[in-house]
Amino acid sequence: MIVPHPYYRLNPARAVHISGIINRELLSRITPQILKLQAVSRNPITVYVDSPGGSVDGMETLLRTLKLTDQDSSGPCHIITAVTQRAASAAADLLSSGDYAIAYPHSAILYHGMRTQESNPLTVESTSVLARILRRSNDRYALELARKIDDRFSFRFLFARNNFDEVRTKHPNQQLSDLQCFIEFIDGKLSKEARKVWQRAKERHGRYKELFTTVVKRVKGEIAKMSVAQAEAAAIKAIVEFEVKANKGDPDWSFRGGGLERLTDDFLLFHEYLTGFASGRLQEWSADWGKFIVAPEIAKEIDAIADEKERSKKLNETVGPLLEPLTSFFAAFCHALQEGENELTATDAYWLGLVDEVVGEDDLLCLRHMEEDKPDPVPTENAEKEAKQSEEVTAAGA
């Protein structure tokens, strides 16, 4: 029996509309509306989005306002975001930040990296500072995006797993790993435009793997005893050797002639890779979904552990290695989204974990289905009698 749940349902009666550019004027207009809704009750708020984007600061202020607690520390209102027509740039980020994010079919969602407009003439010094700032901003936003969408992305993986056997059967290489199956499966669901970002994520992930084998394996044993700077230095040394070895056959290659930039890129990539593993949220995720990913007999064994802490530890130990490849690919994907212009359809956004649901698309599994599917009520004696009487009345009437 499907019972509508307010945490997943659009509610125009408790909604704000983000239309047009996200700027100071929009914030002045929207803030009183949000505060009023929060004061009336702590029920979910729907945020309809149709915006080309705007200031990132403005979007962050808006998010903070939406997530305000009250004087009784009741916790923030649950936020349902919904793109009606277009969510680009900062608006796309706002969309994905919803506790539950919905896209109307035919809506368009555009992701790209940070950009800036400079009014002052550029110099060598200012461009290098600017490049560093933009790079850092992109990295920060990729990390923040990862926090917002990792649950959705992992949920897609859980669903996709049921199709891995089919993917393997159809693929020329039937020995595909689970991650490769997942990549293939999602690739088949995406539009041509979205496949480009997926391809970039694959390339980036391939680079992670190369770096991992040469760098991480070399410093792995010692890294626990090192300070952050020492670990960074060890990584840089290993990357220098890696690049020199990789470019041995090219007599024109040098650090001065572009290799230094590559070294910086590698170093930051390596950091991204580590970031993928460091998330403490994995434990929380395992508690909810771990059982779906391990073999049923192992799930049973874990369930049989009486002590809750031990059970959770065992689940994490089992799930962690299974999810490792996905986690590092996910980090690559979040960074790939910050490169170039990524114009996505509503369905792309669903498969890439950027939204939870596409309105009217019944074949896309979402969390709403899980919470709204309630067991049918057990009929009581009275209810049975009433049903029988009603049937008799209907029959007599006929």
Partner 1 sequence: MSNPATEHQQEDATPKSAREKERENEFREAVNRVYKKYGNNLSAFLRDIQKQKELVKRG
Q: Which residues bind partner 1 (CB under 8 A)?
A: 1-2, 7, 42, 69, 73-75, 78, 143, 147, 158-159, 161-163, 228, 231-232, 271, 274-275, 278-281, 284, 287-289, 291-293, 296, 362-363, 365, 369-371, 373, 375
Joined tokens for residue 149: 């969408």
Cβ distance to partner 1 smaller for residue 108 or 231: 231
Query: What's the closest the beta carbon of residue 271 comes to partner 1, in angstroms?
Result: 6
Q: In angstroms, give the least distance from the CB of 242 to partner 1.
A: 18
The answer to whether 349 and 123 have CB atoms below 8 angstroms apart is: no
Cβ proximity to partner 1, 44 vs 259, nearer residue: 44
Report how far residue 115's alpha carbon sits from residue 341's, in angstroms, rounded to the nearest whole number: 11
SS3 88: strand
Measured CA to CA, the distance from residue 322 to residue 290 in angstroms comes to: 10
Q: Are 355 and 153 contacting, i.e. CB atoms less than 8 angstroms apart? A: no
338 or 342, CB closer to partner 1?
Answer: 338
**Smallest separation (angstroms) from partner 1 to the CB of 41:** 12
Do residues 182 and 155 make contact, with C-beta atoms less than 8 angstroms apart?
no
Q: Is residue 106 packed enough to be buried (19+ CB in 10 Å), middle (13-18) or exposed (0-12)?
A: exposed
| In the complex, least distance from residue 105 CB atom to partner 1, rounded to whole angstroms | 16
Shortest spacing between CB 21 and partner 1, in angstroms? 29
- Type and span of the H or E element at 224: none
Question: In one letter, which amino acid is 86?
Answer: R
Q: Report, in Å, the least distance between residue 280 CB and partner 1.
A: 4
Strands 108-112 and 341-345: antiparallel
Report the amino acid identity of residue 36: K
Contact 25, 62 (CB under 8 A): no
Torsion over CA: 102, 108, 138, 244 (sign): positive
As measured in angstroms, the least distance from the Cβ of 289 to partner 1 is 7
